């Protein structure tokens, strides 16, 4: 939700206040923005509902096609759908082909760039840590999701990474050792960055 900006105004000033398409005028020192804000908020809700519905439709489509789990995602730019995707884990035999990751990959290909700072993403379900990481790395400016992760966990989807991050280990199933290499292994891995920095520019 966008934060309203507060401005101190003279009671004798004439105010023209814009909030997207909302317009309020006051000439007597009385400023009423409630109706304008309500209209703006309702417009945002309607817009979000429209695109989130598309993401939910993708979730159903993915299951019907046998492509993967019931997850969908839509990338939007300037109120236009760039891509509409669903989970492709089974179709691609790829455990990373979640709906959000697939949508980001396809949007980047379509737009010919690796950052989506002028885009939004709508996901049918709260993104897992991998997908949230992909959203973050793509620099998408806004994420809207529908169901909470617990809704997916409740039917068997394993989100133990999220549980670990949240500190709620109730659903945690996996036991995995994580170790940072030391000695020469760590050294040669760290040298990669130093030795390639002149050849590779991120942006």
Residue 170 has pLDDT above 70, yes or no: no
Q: Residue 100 catalytic? A: yes
Judge contact between 158 and 173, C-beta under 8 A. Answer: yes
Share of the chain above pLDDT 70, in %: 68
Structural domain includes residue 28: no
Split into its structural domains, the chain has a count of 1
Structural domain includes residue 18: no
pLDDT at residue number 6: 36
Structural domain includes residue 99: yes
Structural domain includes residue 47: yes
Top mean pLDDT of 50-64, 107-121, 162-176 is at 107-121
pTM: 0.70
Q: Which domain holds residue 139?
A: 43-196
Query: Which CATH number is 57's domain given?
Result: 3.40.140.10
CA atoms within 13 A on the CB side of 200: 7
Q: What digits encode the pLDDT tens for the residues 37-59?
A: 677 778 888 888 899 999 999 99
Find, among 118, 151, 108, 125, the residue nearest to 56 by Cα.
125
Residue 19 has pLDDT above 50, yes or no: no
Structural domain includes residue 70: yes
Residue of 100, 120, 177, 194 with catalytic role: 100
Looking at per-residue pLDDT, the higher value among 175 and 190 belongs to 190
Structural domain includes residue 11: no
Q: What is the mean pLDDT of the chain?
A: 76
Structural domain includes residue 184: yes
Structural domain includes residue 16: no
Q: What digits encode the pLDDT tens for the residues 83-102?
A: 999 999 999 999 999 999 99
């Amino acid at each position: 939700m966008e934060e309203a900006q507060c401005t101190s105004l003279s009671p004798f000033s004439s105010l023209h206040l814009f909030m997207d398409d909302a317009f309020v005028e006051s000439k007597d020192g009385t400023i009423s923005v409630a109706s304008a804000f309500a209209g703006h908020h309702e417009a945002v809700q309607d817009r979000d509902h429209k695109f989130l519905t598309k993401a939910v439709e993708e979730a159903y489509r993915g299951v019907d096609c046998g492509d993967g789990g019931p997850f969908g995602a839509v990338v939007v730019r300037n109120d236009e759908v760039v891509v509409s995707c669903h989970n492709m884990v089974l179709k691609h035999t790829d455990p990373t082909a979640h709906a959000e990751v697939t949508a980001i990959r396809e949007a980047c290909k379509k737009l010919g760039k690796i950052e989506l700072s002028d885009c939004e993403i709508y996901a049918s379900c709260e993104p897992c840590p991998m997908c949230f990481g992909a959203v973050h790395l793509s620099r998408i400016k806004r994420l809207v999701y529908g169901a909470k992760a617990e809704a997916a966990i409740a039917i068997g989807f394993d989100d133990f990474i999220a549980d670990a991050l949240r500190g709620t280990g109730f659903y945690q199933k996996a036991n995995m050792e994580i170790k940072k290499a030391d000695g020469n292994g760590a050294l040669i891995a760290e040298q990669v960055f130093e030795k390639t920095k002149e050849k590779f520019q991120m942006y």
